[in-house]
Amino acid sequence: MRYTKLRKENFHEFLRVLERYGKVYAPHRISEKFYDFREMRDPNDVVTEYPRTVMPPKKFFFEPLSELFKVGLRDFSYSTPEEDIQPFVIFGVHAYDIKGLMILDSVYMEPGLEEKQYAVRRQKALIVGISDMPDQYNFSNVRNADWVDEGFDLFLHPIEEGWLIRVGSPTGHKIIDDNSQLFHGTTLKDIDDFKEHEKRRQLSFPMCMSLSDVRYVLEVNWNNPIWEEEAKRCLGCGNCTMTCPTCRCYEVWDEPDVELSSASRFRRWDSCQFHDHGLVAGGENFREHKVDRFRHRYNCKNSYVKALHCDFCVGCGRCTAFCPAGISYMGIITHLMEAKVHED
């Protein structure tokens, strides 16, 4: 891997340079407690230290609401929306979110079944990662999502003089080469800074355990009373799935235009926590009760991504941090790991 250095004094200039590669979206503080990716207007507003954004970067590729196609009702002509997606840059993405995008890729860009809307956006995006300092909800380390070797163009790690940058793609190399005035060779001291920082970061993760067998833990605890107890507290609001970097369910519907000359098919994000997610004709529902839906999310998130040999959950902690009922995802999982299935 190629390493280079960006000095503190060059940081704002670097953000400006990124704008040459497309519109830049970066973490901004949007309220007292919350951060989110927003279009960058002033590099001074860009935040480099934040626990997590409310919305993961999936929204740039799999949009919350979109039109899939339009059909002429008279001639049955089929067309997809004219899209002119310009290259864009997402700056400041944490490792777990990069891993989340790779997991979404395994679904939305599955070989032979690529979804065009998603794939086109993915091709146009430049990803600049940034090292995060975990807070109490972050368990990306136990998900093996606290570090990525791919899935980014550049990745920034804080060092005393500014930033050590890992270069992860040909576009990343070009950015460095085309703007060489901004970058400097790394010294041994920079490398030590970087290692030191990573060591400190590793020690800050609140959890240290193995989740290798979590799939079995969930399966054998299918009837554990905790599901009912916690599902009772759950409001079914869907915050946990909407903010999850790898949740990707969508609902579709058709809508004729006002002149009834054409009809569009739209899609929007859906949540398995909603009652109608599994509802079929005749009122039958494959996940009728809240507990069925509640438990399903845990099973789905902990199931296996075959293409990447990892779990769907990357441990970002959003589902816990943004749950209005204060339900702790890892709290439930650790409880189940300890639980006895057999009652004496």
Q: Is 253 in the site for another protein (CB under 8 A)?
A: yes
Binding window for ligand SF4 (CB under 6 A); candidates: 183-191, 212-220, 253-261, 323-331:
323-331
Q: Is 280 in the site for ligand FAD (CB under 6 A)?
A: yes
Residues in region 279-318 near another protein by CB under 8 A: 279-282, 286, 298-300, 302-304
SS3 assignment for the chain: CEEEEEEHHHHHHHHHHHHHHCEEEEEEECCCCCEEEEECCCHHHCCCCCCCECCCHHHHCCCCEEEEEEEECCCCCEECCCCCCCCEEEEEECHHHHHHHHHHHHHHCCCCCCCHHHHHHHHHEEEEEECCCCCCCCCCCCCCCCCCCCCCCEEEEEECCEEEEEECCHHHHHHHHHCHHHEECCCHHHHHHHHHHHHHHHHHCCCCCCCCCHHHHHHHCCCCHHHHHHHHHCCCCCHHHHCCCCCCCEEEEEEECCCCCEEEEEEEECCCCCHHHHECHHHCECCCCHHHHHHHHHHHHCCEECCCCEECCCCCCHHHHCCCCCCCHHHHHHHHHHCCCCCC
CB of 194 to ligand FAD, least distance (A): 51
Question: Closest CB to ligand SF4 among 126 and 211?
Answer: 211
CB of 60 to another protein, least distance (A): 15
Residues in region 60-89 near another protein by CB under 8 A: 68-69, 71, 73, 76, 78, 80, 85, 87
**Partner whose binding site includes residue 314, from ligand SF4, ligand FAD, another protein, none (CB under 5 to 8 Å by kind):** ligand SF4
Q: Is 272 in the site for another protein (CB under 8 A)?
A: yes
CB of 7 to another protein, least distance (A): 31
CB of 38 to ligand SF4, least distance (A): 20
CB of 302 to another protein, least distance (A): 4
Q: Is 339 in the site for another protein (CB under 8 A)?
A: no
**Partner whose binding site includes residue 165, from another protein, ligand SF4, ligand FAD, none (CB under 5 to 8 Å by kind):** none
Question: Which residues are near ligand FAD by CB under 6 A?
Answer: 280-281
Q: What is the binding site for ligand SF4 (CB under 6 A)?
A: 234-240, 243-246, 273, 301, 313-319, 323-325, 327, 329
